[in-house]
Amino acid sequence: MDDTAEEVLDTIVFDIGSTFTKATAFREKDGKLVWAARAQAPTTVDDIGQGIETALRNLAQALHCRAVTAKSMYSTSSAAGGLRMVAMGYMPRVTAKAAKEVAMNAGARVLEVMSFEDKDENKFEMLQEINPDIILLAGGTDGGDMDSMINDARIIVDSKVKATVVIAGNASAQPIVKAILQDSGFKTVRVPNVMPTIHELKVIPAREAIHEQFIRQITDAKGLGNLVDRLTEKKVVPTPGAVLMAAELLAQGSHEEKGIGSLVVIDLGGATTDIHSVIPELEELSIEERGLVITNEKQTAYRTVEGNLGLRVSARGIVEAAGAKAILNRIGLAGEEHEQEIAAYAASLEEQPEYLAATEREKLFDRALAQTAVEIALKRHAGYISQKFDPVMGIVPGTPVGRDLRRVETIIAVGGIFASLPEEEVRSIIVRALADPGISLLPATSVNVIIDRQYLLYAIGRLADRRPAAALAFAKNHFGI
């Protein structure tokens, strides 16, 4: 490419992260998307535009041209850190499930779930302490209980928090609740009931409402307004949501092409370990077979975030969760001296999150911490084999409860440590994490492991709703599946 020319690419997808702003470029060849290059630059908090322009210059340098532009531009972002969300409903288990599903890729973090089990004064105190950005107000199936949602609306008014309230409960109670909140100056958004019947969960309208709040927050707080004006579609998708959308596309396919079936994405970062799983065959179950209340992890797509498991910012969380002795057992070391050594290493990583392991010892510790984080996160995400009778729930010993990953044949590994290690070492970390499932419903160790070395899943996911066929074809070709 001529270093003095400007290249017009087919597509550029940005990701505005808390630390780095990334730009991934695609060309079009014979009607198909082809990956061209990827570049990044430090995120400039005061003016996001500076980081974007630097990333574009770095992209041009990678493509050996003077400058780059594109026919289409899209973006994701995790720079805002996620909206603080509180969920209020009637049944604790159902409200928790609805809140997790609604927040899954909408850019929100569920900090508290409240139900009829919580006293009114406790709800009031929790709202004031958390001061959420958004409240998901649910409660009652359509035609069912109205009192709980109306009572919760009055508690919200008394708390005087500055939150947007997404009203997503009993349709009959919604007009009353809206009037109570708006009369006191609260901004409200009405959406269809997240649980219109006892076995049915409808989260997409509520998720979209929260997503709109996420876009508004990052546009205002991070100065993304100028970027949004440049985008082909005037919205910014939360980065974890884009990764999940990529997983859904790969697993389920598009109208033109079949997907590859059940898969898991392990996104191991410095601060969190995210597990995404997509099980397309669950779509074949009836609403009653899914049994929302009894086994509440039977949605097709599901994501969990372990905020205390990360290889840098949350390194001590791994040691605290598993214990230094158990981590060392994974690499054949034992003794109090070694336990103190790895605990000190984890503490130093939290103080210097940009530190890269320099010695063979540190690299060994990194791999042990990674394996431990993956194993814990997968076991928390997956279901289990019941060990006892539960006559109320109709469960007997040996019953699979929760998310069953045993038929998953593909795992996609995302994260800096996976990108930097040889393929056999990445596979070893994941296989060892799966080797002792116990009662957990984990994939088999024969699973196919794919590494997203160029960190392209976010871009694939961002293109999934606009160009699903092209995005799927690219993903299959790029990952060799």
In the predicted model, what is the mean pLDDT of residues 259-288? 88
In a domain, 347, yes or no: no
Residue 226 domain-assigned?
no
Q: Is residue 401 part of a domain?
A: yes
Question: Which runs of consecutive H residues, i.e. helices, occur in 63-172?
Answer: 92-103, 120-130, 147-159
Residue 448 has pLDDT above 50, yes or no: yes
- Per-residue pLDDT tens for 75-95? 988 765 567 889 999 888 777
Indicate the DSSP class of residue 390. B
- At 295, the pLDDT band (50, 70, 90 cuts) reads very low
Q: Cβ atoms within 10 A of the Cβ of 19, count? A: 13
Asked if residue 336 is part of any domain, the answer here is no
Are 296 and 426 in the same domain? yes
Co-location of 253 and 149 in the same domain: no
Round to whole Å and give the CA distance between 292 and 290: 6
Same structural domain, 96 and 183: yes
Q: What is the mean pLDDT of residues 261-278?
A: 93
**Number of folded domains that form the chain:** 3
Question: Which residue reads 């995302």 in tokens?
Answer: 414
Give the residue from 79, 95, 119 where a domain finishes. Answer: 79
CB-based contacts of 190: which residues, under 8 Å, 6+ apart? 167, 174, 178
Q: What is the pTM of this model?
A: 0.81
Tell me the average pLDDT of the chain: 88
462 domain-assigned: yes
pLDDT of residue 123: 95
Residue 463 forms part of a structural domain: yes
Q: pLDDT tens for residues 26-77?
A: 999 988 999 999 999 988 777 788 889 999 999 999 999 999 999 999 998 8
**Residue 53 belongs to a domain with what CATH number?**
3.30.420.40
**Residue given tokens 């949350």 in the structure block:** 314
One domain for residues 281 and 411: yes
CATH of the domain at 90: 3.40.50.360
What is the distance, to the nearest Å, from the Cα of residue 310 to the centroid of all Cα atoms in its chain? 14
Within a domain: 341:
no
Indicate whether 156 belongs to any domain. yes
Name the residue range of residue 150's domain.
83-216
Residues of the chain above pLDDT 70, percent: 93
